Amino acid sequence: MRRLWVFIHRWTGLVMAGFLIIVGLTGSLLAFYNELDHLVAPQLFATPRPGIAPLDAATLTERVEALAPEARVTGVWLWYPDQVLVSVGGRIDPETNQPHELAYDQLLLDPWTGNELGRRAWGDISQGSINLMSFVYKLHYALALGMPGIWILGFVALAWTIDCFVGFYLTLPVGHHKFWKRWKPAWQIKAGAGVFRLNFDLHRAAGLWLWGVLLVFAWSSVYMNLWDTVYTWATRAVLEYHAPWTELVDRPQPLKTPRLDWREAQSVGERLMAEAAASHGFSVENPIALSFDSKKGLYRYGVRSSKDIQDHRGKTDLYFDGETGAMTLLLLPTGQFAGNTVTSWIYALHMGNIFGLPWRIFVCGLGLVVVLLSVTGVYIWWKKRSARKLARSRKRLPTEIDDAETAAYGRSKPA
């Protein structure tokens, strides 16, 4: 049985290695996404104006409609104190009855004046430095391939999650005799060892010491890429979990022009959120998002609240009908449903959006550890493959590999 798990771990790791190297390197950069975005595209951020209140979401949509009459606002995101991100699509051209073709899907505004800071098609690296970090983000979660990339990395994340358990099992010594004494070397890196043994120890010890957090990052990656399938099925099997994709359905026909305009929707959202806060015992800190989903005919109003655990932004959301203003769904990040609370925690940990700067530094380093595990895993496979070829001609293994595995396991591992 152990030989089977070694085979599974080896080939799963080889298949994942290239993907995890990309994910690890880009993830290290994304731990400091905002700082790097300021560095490479400073023109997209406004100069802070202390003591002046920023404009509200409805006013900002009006500014965008004046700046880009060919665009239709789909959402306003108040994520950063010095930048407002407004997502847009093409407005219907009355002459052709077709949406305008836009070279951008976002406008970036000054939060205090509503002045335009820039336009971009998010993640399109051909537009230059304004999309460098968003391109890195697209590489990280979708290989910059759109939905096919999301699915590919989703299944890689699922395989990674399973392989966490397989890899842990393979560190355990065979049998129970002097178990802890024989397991202790798995946690250590032998001083003065040869190149193979050093790589072997780095691969095994790093994986063991960081096993729990690697599992969290692997499973949270499943959430981010297979959110409405594998993650939802698995979470709902053990915990109560609710999400927009489990509770909300598309209309027979999209609602292109809701009865409530953006200003009315903002007022309705504020009122409904205040009522929800009173009935569920939380306080609202500041608005985060106002968006409209024409397929469902619903507005989403999001805030940061006392239920949020993240350092920045917020995931306290409610959805209401674009015609009647009736609330359809309220989702709190913590304290409402156990599955949602767990999801909020693993998401915040993965995004480096909790525990301040120390955790972000840790996440940055963890990305490099993922690269280390991938590279050392491939190296171990390559050396053992070379050893098998040599063994066929000389009827023995190279001394370094033989000695390393005998020392590590008390006998040679299965090939």
Give tens-digit pLDDT for 288-307.
999 999 999 999 999 999 99
Q: How confident is the model at residue 96 (pLDDT cuts 50, 70, 90)?
A: confident
pLDDT at position 413, please? Answer: 45
CATH class, 242-336 region: alpha beta
Confidence tier at 310 by pLDDT (50, 70, 90) = very high
Whole-number pLDDT of residue 400: 55
The mean pLDDT of 349-363, rounded to a whole number, is: 97
CATH 3.10.450 domain position(s) in the chain: 242-336
The share of the chain scoring above pLDDT 90, in percent, equals: 86
The yes-or-no verdict on residue 37 having pLDDT over 90 is yes
Q: How high is the pLDDT of residue 97?
A: 83
102-129, pLDDT tens digit by residue? 999 999 999 999 999 999 999 999 999 9
CA atoms within 13 A on the CB side of 165: 5
Say yes or no to pLDDT of 410 above 60: no
Percent of the chain scoring above 70 in pLDDT: 95
pLDDT tens-digit profile of 376-386? 999 999 998 88
Where is mean pLDDT largest: 32-46, 186-200, 382-396? 32-46
For residue 192, pLDDT over 90 is answered with no
Q: What is the three-state SS of the chain?
A: CHHHHHHHHHHHHHHHHHHHHHHHHHHHHHCCHHHHHHHHCHHHCCCCCCCCCCCCHHHHHHHHHHHCCCEEEEEEEEEECCEEEEEEEECEECCCCEECCCCCCEEEECCCCCCEEEEECCCCHHHCHHHHHHHHHHHHHHCCCCHHHHHHHHHHHHHHHHHHHHHHHHHCCCCCCCHHHHHHHHHCCCCCCCHHHHHHHHHHHHHHHCHHHHHHHHHHHHHHHCHHHHHHHHHHHHCCCCCHHHHCCCCCCCCCCCCCCHHHHHHHHHHHHHHHHHHHCCCEEEEEEEEEECCCCEEEEEEEECCCCCCCCCCEEEEEECCCCCEEEEECCCCCCHHHHHHHHHHHHHCCCCCHHHHHHHHHHHHHHHHHHHHHHHHHHHHHHHHHHHHHHHCCCCHHHHHHHHHHHCCCCCC
Burial of 357 (0-12, 13-18, 19+ CB in 10 A): exposed
pLDDT band of residue 387 (cuts 50, 70, 90) is confident
Identify the band that residue 403 occupies on the pLDDT scale cut at 50, 70 and 90. low
Q: Is residue 79 a contact partner of residue 291, using CB atoms and an 8 Å limit?
A: no
pLDDT at position 397 is 53
List phi, psi (to 5°) of 197: -65, -40
pTM: 0.91
**What pLDDT score was predicted for residue 415?**
36
Residue 412 is predicted with a pLDDT of: 43
